[in-house]
């Protein structure tokens, strides 16, 4: 009897370990696949290169704080990017109800507001945000309205940062919608 209980207990523990292992892998894979910051942005050379903490004894506390803040912002952008509503997600969540705004769209407006607030208070985060906006604007799996908002933000913030984004291939229909959206100050 004790041997049977021990075997059942062992099988249960093994199943839990395997379940957590696969659960962790799928989350990491999802973020890595969809994150605009996981891959280098070859389109705009000014946006390439990750901010890495250099192990140097000459690093000032201000530089260290700035680097940590950029890393926290990048992590926020990565997790936010995978939460943006895809066409498939909205299609499944609406279930035929076309008279209500999907929760995912409302959530994304909160994400855009948070990013804007952070950019207004710290201009050193602009390049990271431009990577986010460019990846969002060209992602054909995201809903059109979200892509247009990303394109509008990309246009506005790139002008403020004086970064040329003309090499990014944003579809004409997304640009047309983005151009009629209000400019953010």
State pLDDT tens for residues 151-161: 999 999 999 99
Residue 5 within any structural domain of the chain: no
Q: Between helices 126-138 and 61-81, what is the axis angle to 10°?
A: 10
| Residues 16-74: tens digit of each pLDDT | 444 444 444 333 334 444 455 544 345 554 554 444 444 556 778 888 888 899 999 99
Average pLDDT over residues 158-174: 90
Token pair listed for 161: 């940062």
Average pLDDT over residues 121-133: 92
What's this model's pTM, rounded to 2 decimal places? 0.70
Boundaries of domain holding 78: 35-180
Per-residue confidence at 105, pLDDT binned at 50, 70, 90? confident
Residue 42 within any structural domain of the chain: yes
Q: How many domains does the chain have?
A: 1
Residue 3 within any structural domain of the chain: no
Residue 133 within any structural domain of the chain: yes
CA 147 centroid distance within chain: 13
Residue 18 within any structural domain of the chain: no
What does pLDDT average to over the chain? 76
Residue 132 within any structural domain of the chain: yes
In the block, tokens 């999907």 appear at 102
Contact criterion met (CB below 8 Å) for 73 and 118: yes
Residue 116 within any structural domain of the chain: yes
Residue 74 within any structural domain of the chain: yes
Q: Which residues pair with 142 in a beta bridge?
A: 86
């Amino acid at each position: 009897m004790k041997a049977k209980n021990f075997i059942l207990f062992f099988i249960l523990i093994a199943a839990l370990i395997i379940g957590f292992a696969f659960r962790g892998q799928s989350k990491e894979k999802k973020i890595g696949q969809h994150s605009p910051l996981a891959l280098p942005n070859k389109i705009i050379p000014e946006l390439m290169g990750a901010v890495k903490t250099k192990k140097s004894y000459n690093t000032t506390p201000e530089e260290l704080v700035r680097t940590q803040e950029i890393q926290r912002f990048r992590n926020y952008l990565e997790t936010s990017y995978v939460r943006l509503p895809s066409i498939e997600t909205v299609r499944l969540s609406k279930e035929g109800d076309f008279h209500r705004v999907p929760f995912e769209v409302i959530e994304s407006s909160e994400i855009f507001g948070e990013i804007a607030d952070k950019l207004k208070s710290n201009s050193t985060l602009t390049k990271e945000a431009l990577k986010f906006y460019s990846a969002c604007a060209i992602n054909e799996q995201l809903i059109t309205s979200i892509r247009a908002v990303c394109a509008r933000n990309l246009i506005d913030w790139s002008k403020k940062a004086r970064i040329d984004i003309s090499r990014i291939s944003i579809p004409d229909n997304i640009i047309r919608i983005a151009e009629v959206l209000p400019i953010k100050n």
